[in-house]
Structure 1
């Protein structure tokens, strides 16, 4: 399997190190396929567990049990910190919108990492060997096939930072999705896009120092060449990781140009809502 060039790998490292997860020290203990009522009202959450190479992966799902029939599925790919409370909160937000939402456990055991060094070590594997990321994703997707609340024929995928890059890769590698959304993710992933009818939505901070103008132009050229339907949105003055409320504090801690932007966060979430409603029509 080919590795990324050193320059790209370093760029991905800088991008990944800027992503921050809310409440990284998650206290959620692993459970075995249980469903529980949450404080979010009519939203139920459940753990989807499955084994990969001897490791139990514990993805996190949520849905509204009062909704009848099979629900459109939205996979949520996390920041490089793992299955944090931040990404679980995003899953519950999507469940409130009427979707069966699933946060994918890439590292196994619902792992949440606390240092950039450990996060970089774990996440770089999926940048360097994209097919392994596909295997991780396919494992949870195969569980969704037998989930009575989920509509396997209506699937979309979204991601944040590291997860945004991985979401773009999954759309490049698979024709299963109606749409893909990347929030402040890296755009240069080493896999060329092909027109498999998935629509793309890329939500980017205009002041993001982790995603260069050259990278943006190359991405747009790639999409145009493959005749892919896409929308690219720049949010004025927004830095990297602009959707995460902990980004400003983390930026100060690691001396990185990242910050939360409430306006960009709200606008990008609404942009995603409209996009999902359109692709699932």
Structure 2
């Protein structure tokens, strides 16, 4: 059942403090791969002090492209004990600095969903091939453009345990059908996001219920688009965009995500 909740990182090494004062040594490294002859650059993060395979999680970037924010989220997941791959949906070097370029990159990708699916699937296959990943336990998180992409992956029956969308598009290019969706779905949305209309939410909920999907929808009062990204306020000022960071919504959605992933992979 959907719920409406009202609430007013080349190679590098990053250390995180986890509960119980356990130090996780997160290793991050760029990883190159190819799809239909085009090069893509992902970012792999994992705790190298852990032994054996663990659940793997894809992180799909915002419309800007594969940037430090996507890598940061991969590192945060690695600190929780997962192997995370921040994938690249546009191609090496395609990182937008202006909304016009971001929109162009995004539209070039989603205008042909077969191409977008190939890029997602290639990254998923790469993740599952790694020795530090349990190929039977994978999920995907997506932000903005990436949120819509992970929902599409779930709707089309990709072999994922679960997907989480943050301030992502709810519109369906391919609707979920009964028996098709394998993934459990969680959506975190800003109630004041001007890009997500009331009818989008209604249609999404009806679609999920009609397809018998295990889903949850959390709507944060006062939150607008990109509420999880601390850089959003800068974008709002620089480009006059209706976006903004919301610390409470960010913290709550991450807390819920952690619990969701823990339950998801315990099964």
- Distance in 1 between residues matched to 2:93 and 2:77, nearest whole Å: 20
- Distance in 2 between residues matched to 1:202 and 1:59, nearest whole Å: 24
Give yes or no for contact 1:62–1:91 (8 Å, CA) kept in 2: yes
Give yes or no for contact 1:105–1:111 (8 Å, CA) kept in 2: no
State yes or no: 1:177 paired with 2:160: yes
Give yes or no for contact 1:59–1:110 (8 Å, CA) kept in 2: no
State yes or no: 1:128 paired with 2:111: yes
**How many residue pairs get matched?**
249
Shift of 1:43: 0.6
Query: Where in structure 1 are there 5+ consecutive unaligned residues?
Result: 1-27
Q: Deviations over 1:146-188 (max 9, x none)?
A: 3110111000011000000001011112331110100000100
- Distance in 2 between residues matched to 1:222 and 1:146, nearest whole Å: 33
TM-score normalized by the length of structure 1: 0.84
Query: Where in structure 2 are there 5+ consecutive unaligned residues?
Result: 1-8, 17-23
Give the CA RMSD over aligned residues. Answer: 1.6
Shift of 1:278: 1.2
For residue 206 of structure 1, the aligned residue among 187, 191, 197 is 191
Aligned pairs for 1:181-196 (under 5 A) are 181-194=164-177, 195=179, 196=181
Q: Deviations over 1:81-138 (max 9, x none)?
A: 1111111111100000000001111111153211111111111123222121110012
Q: Deviations over 1:217-273 (max 9, x none)?
A: 000000000010100001111111101111122112222221111111100111111
User: Could you tell which deviates more after superposition, 140-149 or 155-164?
Assistant: 140-149
Give yes or no for contact 1:187–1:215 (8 Å, CA) kept in 2: yes
TM-score normalized by the length of structure 2: 0.89
Give yes or no for contact 1:207–1:237 (8 Å, CA) kept in 2: yes
In the alignment, what sits opposite 1:76?
59
